[in-house]
Structure 1
Amino acid sequence: MAKSDELRIDPQQLADAWQRTLPETMNSSDRCVVLQDEADDKALRVTIHSAGHQMYEFDFKVTYTGSREVAVELIDVEKDNVTVDERTDIIQQLIHDYKRHLHECAQALQQLTHA
C-alpha cells in the first residue's frame, strides 16, 4: 500500500519544473542546472554555478522524503573542475544560502508535488 504522502510525479517533469522554478528563488547572477537522478526517481541532481570571481560549482542531491519535504545533501564543490575544501567560511555561507534556496524551490513546487 502506498503512503499518502509519497511523491507521485514523473521524474523528468519534476526536473523540468525545478529547472524553471529554482532560478526564481536564487540570486539572479547565479546559474543552475537540474537533472533527474538516474539512480533514484525521488531525487534530483542540482549544479549551481556561483557568480562572481570565485566561479565555484556546487553539486547537490535533492531527495524527496515525502511529497513536500526534501533532504538536501552537498555532493561536491569545485573550482575550475577541481574539488575544493568546502570548510572555508565563504563556501560554508554559500552552501547555507543554496540549501535555503533549494528548500524554497521545493516549497514553491508543493502544488505540483503534493497531489
Structure 2
Amino acid sequence: MSKRDELSINQQELTEAWQRTLPDTILKADRAEVKADEADSKSLRVTIHTAGHQMYSFDFKVTYVDSREIQTTLIDVEKDGKSVDERTDIIQQLVEDYTRHIHECAQALHELTHV
C-alpha cells in the first residue's frame, strides 16, 4: 500500500491560488469569488456570478479528494439573491459549464497541489 495522496498545500495558499487562477478559466465577463471553507480544510467555496441580465450566482463546494482529484458539489443557485429551481435546462447547462471550468482551474493548479 502506498501512502495516501494527500493535499500538501495549506488552505490559505490554495485559496489564494484559486483566486488568481479561476478568473482565467471562466468567461471574462463572469466574476468568481473563492473562499476557504471554514468547516473543511480540504474544501473551498466558489461563487460564480454570471454576466449580463440574468444575475445568477452559483455556489459550489470544491473538495480535494487527493492532490489531483476534486469533487465539485453545487450548493445553491440564486437569481437576484433568491434561490431558483436548479433543474431547468439553462441552469443545468450553466452548472455543467462552470463545473468544467472549476475542474480546468484545478488542473491548472496541479503543480501547486501535487508534489
TM-score of the pair, normalised by structure 2? 0.96
Gaps of 5+ in 2: none
Instruction: Name the residue aligned to 1:76.
Output: 76
SS in structure 2 at match of 1:58:
strand
Instruction: Name the residue aligned to 1:42.
Output: 42
SS in structure 2 at match of 1:34:
strand
Residue type of the alignment partner of 1:92: Q
Q: Distance in 2 between matches of 1:4 and 1:73?
A: 23
Instruction: Name the residue aligned to 1:56.
Output: 56
Q: Distance in 2 between matches of 1:104 and 1:94?
A: 15
Q: Distance in 1 between matches of 2:41 and 2:112?
A: 15
SS in structure 1 at match of 2:6:
coil
Instruction: Name the residue aligned to 1:22.
Output: 22
What whole-Å deviation, never above 9, does each CA across 1:12-65 have from its counterpart, x for those lacking one? 110000010001011000000000000101000000001111110000000000
SS in structure 1 at match of 2:44:
strand
Q: How many percent identity over aligned positions?
A: 68
TM-score of the pair, normalised by structure 1? 0.96
Instruction: Name the residue aligned to 1:6.
Output: 6
Deviation at 1:4, TM superposition (A): 4.1
Aligned residue pairs: how many?
Answer: 114
TM superposition outliers: structure 1 runs of 4+ over 6 Å? none
Gaps of 5+ in 1: none
Deviation at 1:112, TM superposition (A): 0.1
CA RMSD of aligned residues (A): 1.1
Q: Distance in 2 between matches of 1:52 and 1:103?
A: 24
Instruction: Name the residue aligned to 1:107.
Output: 107
Deviation at 1:3, TM superposition (A): 3.4
Deviation at 1:81, TM superposition (A): 1.1
